[in-house]
Chains A and B, each alone.
Chain A
Amino acid sequence: MEQLNVLGLAIPALPLLAFLLITAITAKKKMLSAVLSISCIFASFLISVYLLILQLKAGHGASYEFSFPWLFLGDVKMSLGILINPLTTVMLIVVTTVSMLVQIYSIGYMKGDYAFSRFFSYISLFSFSMLGIVVANNLIQMYIFWELVGLCSYLLIGFWWFKPEAAEASKKAFIVTRFGDFGFLVGILILSYITGTFNFAEIQAQINAGLISPGLLTVIALLLFSGAVGKSAQFPLHVWLPDAMEGPTPVSALIHAATMVAAGVFMVARLFGIFSASPHAMLVIAYLGGFTAIFAATIALTQNDIKRVLAFSTLSQLGYMMLAMGIGGYTSGMFHLTTHAFFKALLFLGAGSVIHAVHTNDIQLMGGLHKKMPITSITFLIASLSIAGIFPLSGFWSKDEILVNIMESGHMGLYYVAAATAFLTAFYMFRLYLMTFTGKPRDAHAYEHAHESPLTMTVPLMILAVLSIVTGFAGIPGKEQSFYNFLFFGAHPHETHFNMGVALSSSAIAVSGIALALLMYAFGLIKPEAVKNASGPLYKLSYNKYYIDEIYMFFIKNGFFVIASAVKWFDRHVVDGAVNLVAFLCRWAGSKLRLTVNGGVQSYALIIFGGLVFIAAVFAVWNPDALKLLGGR
């Protein structure tokens, strides 16, 4: 199995190599940097495909891992390692594919940017870090790379660091996710203390043996989950993701739609043994995911920035995946992660193509672009249909499976939430599509200059469009060779069957969402303005994202900053004041005692006499026998 060690290591190591080479050597040669970066990720992709084939042959039970020491402290052993199992291979394919396509696209999109090479070096660093999470076989490694993808996210959101909004957004993203990481780290500390190991398989063995009490397991699971909440931008730590759209659009596609933000879902899948052992934690995951799904979808309805609509859509879809995980739908959650990665990357890259053409993010200034950029328009439409869940595109299969799972779990409340979200999703996606690509151009100048993007950009769009169509077929229920018989948790695949009722109702929901959008934005039968006015405060709430950012800012300003100022004052005036007081007292005492040394012999004699009397008195009181010495009785 030597060969697997090398191959497993090569997958993350190649992008790292690209990062190092670009930083050290090729920074000045733009095309060379891009080629280097893309070749490395392409090689990683090929190895991933090879591993997938091996894994498919070996079947579900096969899993391979190896570790090497990183930091040993007596009993506390921290290692780095590689774990190859079905979950790893699926995720490897997703990450390398999207990363590769996004990088090819970026050659066109970032053309002319002064920091072209830096962009590719960061993207390679990100690919390295993300693949490091995917292949990790222990919690420490996962945490290490977890933080590193956070760093890459920070660097890439702030790629245009001279823009104040970008600088602000990158800082916000890092700090907000840090809140989640705090819980993640504490969870790791507790878990490793109890189990004495960081290795996934060893932890799983201890859970299976029932060595951890259920209460404690729930606490640990929720702490670990808080890391996922931060990374996957689930409510209440979702506020960073919409602002992260300040980064270049390929970054939004790769990091903030397809891969990094899905790391939270992946983490829940990787640690499914811990989560599924705690029904309470699972319930929290399901409801938080469900809430995020519908909450974000309602915000997406009213946004006018093309990337922000997609950002809230991502939040919503991630909530969908979490919901699936929470009700035990391990396979359907991961399947949705896979299909979503492709169609959401496509949507973002499509949006990037549009922004590239019209130089604005505001859909109110777009319209009628289909004629100018047909490839972008058609691929965007395919992705929109897919995310809306239209048969037979990939989104249909994955979303349907989640709905079936929810229904089987018996949480009907969550089922309705998921169905309502599906309706909203279909509506806002078609609102977006119609306002951007159809109708009359609303900004003549922008429209005039619009043009189809170059091939480096449109070819990745077409490939992703194909993937958005066909990926779903891997998950058609009932097939022998399906996704469901490959990737599952436990000893046996989750029994999946096609539920005609669910399929029909969800299709009806999707179609009605699209129909409503058509009525409002294509045929003009319902005036959007009228709806806006009729909904009154609801519109404002949605448009202003329920004022969550403002509420947080209020607490930071009036809570955290007040405490910080208080600490600053306390330290300066109380703690340091005490120090200065001691100094002052010493000086004061010195200045007074100084007066006793006045050179007058009489006063010295007086002091000597007084001192003698004092000593004798003390001596006498302390030791009564002394009186005898003095001649007393």
Chain B
Amino acid sequence: MAEFLGNIPFLTIIYLMPLCAVIALFFIPGTNHKAVKVVSLVFSVLSFIMSLLLFISYDYKKGGLQFVEHFDWIPAIGVNYFMGVNGINVALVLLTGIIITAGILASWDLNYRPKEFFILLLMLTTGVYGVFMTYNLFLFFLFYEIAVLPMYLLIGIWGTGDKEYAAMKLTLYLLVGSALILAGLLGIYFATGLHTFDFDKIEQFAFDPTFQKIFFPILFVGFGILAALWPFHTWSPDGHASAPTAVSMLHAGVLMKLGAYGCLIIPVWLFPIGAKFWLPVVAVMTLVNIVYGSIGAVKQTDLKYIVAYSSVSHMGVVLLGIAGMNDVAFSGAVFQMVSHGIMTGLFFGLIGMTYGRTHTRDIHKMHGLAKVMPVLAVFFAMTGLCSLGLPGLSGFVAELTTFVGVYKTFPVWTIIAVISIVVTAFYVLRVVQIVFLGPLDAEYKDLKDAKFTEIASLSILMFFIVLFGVYPFYIMELIHGSVLPIAAKIGGM
């Protein structure tokens, strides 16, 4: 199948799908909500199906970049149209397809300016797909900005609560990251003297050790902000709390992964000496992420804040894996990106659906909801179990792999990080108990359980959580084969 698909610009088609939807939406009257939603859904599902095809047709035995499309664009400065995917990309592209489809299904009931909402949402998705597929650093940055900027409007217009503050904070914070990234990328461009932004050529270049040590932290922090690296994480709880459901899903599900992906692909892969120098420091910071994030979630009362802090904790596992500097730890990190992406998509989707019914996110104002919405309760409990690392669900595989890998590099830090499995169990089960178990509050006795679009959205996500939890072999082969070159370069084999 790979040969057949190799002849058509497969990757371009995937990321153009959401863009096509955007163009189509321009010609649909904003009053026709149904049409807007159907068009958005159809194109998302198409991109999702193609990302699935990509996932199964990538030849992991061969490895390396596949489905490559390479054309000159601005040859004078080495800006080329260079698309390609390795196993890491394939996994993350699939994640994006899953999340956008589930996200659109979850916002089926959105009735305030849906046309504009879906246009922005799909723009964002185009950017995300692009980042995960391109190997030209200029294009990378371009896509990165396309992915990040719509967030401002999405939160500012469709958000809840203190949304202007949250939108501004998030955007400014992420732009600080972008500024660092831009500085870093330009530094790389001039340091190589190769006059190209093509990643494969830059990757061959041996950077001066001092340069590496200076530019590693610039780029790592730049990307790390988006991955909620402590102490640059505080945009995340406020941003998530104010964002509408689908935006939270996409943001925590895929956008935060852009940051982690960037950390792994650019600073760590390009600057092995810088990485060796700085990653021990990063490891300690991620440890704070993991433990402090999970403890921070314990005393929160707003469902979205709880999940946002839980994300800080779980993204810490991703970053800890990256700091682990060997193939197993890197694999764990990438697997956790996928796993956490789907899981957090479920969490935010469920919270949105619950909020849509009870009109509160305060856990102390909801009790015994399993009585009236058993399906949502089961999904919520399963998602919680995934987050606390229950075997059979993907979170366990991710954490286990990461811990096994990082233990080789930082044994003591790993043991401290494992403490989070107890704390996570504590706050997750506490929420399940308070919100869903026990006697039902009388005021909620007429609530309806999940409807078709909601169940569809949740089921897509849950399917992959269970699939990757029970049968991680295939996806892990993809990922592991593709992190090997990075690990080999840094000497962690």
Chain A residues engaging chain B, CB cutoff 8 angstroms:
69-74, 76, 78, 140, 143-145, 147-148, 151, 154, 158, 161-164, 167-168, 171, 174-175, 178-179, 181-182, 185-186, 189-190, 192-193, 560-561, 563-565, 567-568, 571, 575-576, 578-579, 583
Contacts and interface: CB of A to CB of B under 8 A. Distances in A.
Contacts of B419: 182
List the 3 shortest-distance A-B pairs measured between CB atoms, nearest first: A167-B437, A564-B298, A144-B391
A162 B368 contact: yes
A30 B408 CA distance: 51
B292 A174 contact: no
Contact of A575 (B234, B370, B400, B407): B234
B357 interface: no
A74 B480 contact: yes
Given A167-B437, A182-B421, A74 B473 contact: no
Contacts of A578: 231
B298 A561 contact: yes
B213 interface: no
Contact of A193 (B173, B407, B493): B407
Contacts of A560: 298
A174 B423 CA distance: 12
Place the interface of chain B in its size category. 35 or more
B296 A175 contact: no
28 contacts: A69-B473, A71-B397, A71-B401, A72-B480, A73-B476, A73-B480, A74-B327, A147-B389, A154-B429, A161-B438, A162-B370, A162-B438, A163-B438, A167-B437, A168-B433, A171-B429, A174-B425, A178-B421, A181-B421, A182-B422, A186-B418, A189-B404, A561-B298, A575-B231, A575-B234, A579-B169, A579-B235, A583-B169
Contacts of B404: 73, 76, 189, 192-193
B394 to A, nearest CB: 12
Given A161-B437, A189-B414, A178 B296 contact: no
B328 A568 contact: no
Contact of A567 (B169, B292, B396): B292
Contacts of A174: 425, 429
A563 B295 CA distance: 8
B471 to A, nearest CB: 8
Given A71-B476, A74-B328, A178-B421, A561 B415 contact: no
A335 to B, nearest CB: 31
A167 B437 CA distance: 6
B208 interface: no
A167 B433 contact: yes
Contacts of B418: 182, 185-186, 189
Contacts of B389: 147
Contacts of A171: 429-430, 432-433
Given A74-B327, A175-B426, A568 B391 contact: no
A179 B422 contact: yes
Interface in B436-493: 436-440, 472-473, 476-477, 480, 484, 493
Contacts of A151: 385, 390
A175 B234 CA distance: 28
B371 interface: yes
Most buried by B among A145, A151, A185: A185
Nearest to A192: B404
A162 B437 contact: yes
Nearest to A164: B438
B403 A568 contact: no
A436 B259 CA distance: 65
Which of A175, A561, A578 has the most C-beta atoms of chain B within 10 angstroms of its own C-beta?
A175
B64 interface: no
A584 B299 CA distance: 28
Given A71-B473, A175-B426, 11 more contacts: A145-B391, A162-B440, A164-B439, A167-B438, A174-B429, A186-B418, A189-B403, A189-B404, A189-B407, A561-B299, A575-B234
B66 interface: no
A147 B391 contact: yes
B415 A186 contact: yes
A571 B296 contact: yes
Contacts of B476: 71-73
B392 interface: yes
A583 B421 CA distance: 36
Nearest to A145: B391
Interface in B308-359: 327-328, 331
A563 B423 CA distance: 12
Contacts of B235: 579
A175 B299 contact: no
Contact of A73 (B295, B331, B426): B331
B209 interface: no
A158 B364 CA distance: 20
Contact of B425 (A175, A189, A575): A175
A576 to B, nearest CB: 4
B328 A73 contact: yes
Nearest to B476: A71
B300 interface: yes
A151 B437 CA distance: 16
B206 interface: no
Interface string B380-396: 00000100011110001
Contacts of B328: 73-74, 76
B194 interface: no
Contact of A143 (B295, B391, B437, B484): B391
A47 to B, nearest CB: 23
Contacts of B169: 579, 583
B30 interface: no
A285 B370 CA distance: 42
Nearest to A144: B391
A182 to B, nearest CB: 5
Contacts of B331: 73
A565 B299 contact: yes
Given A73-B327, A148-B391, A185 B421 contact: yes
A583 B234 CA distance: 13
Contacts of B472: 70-71
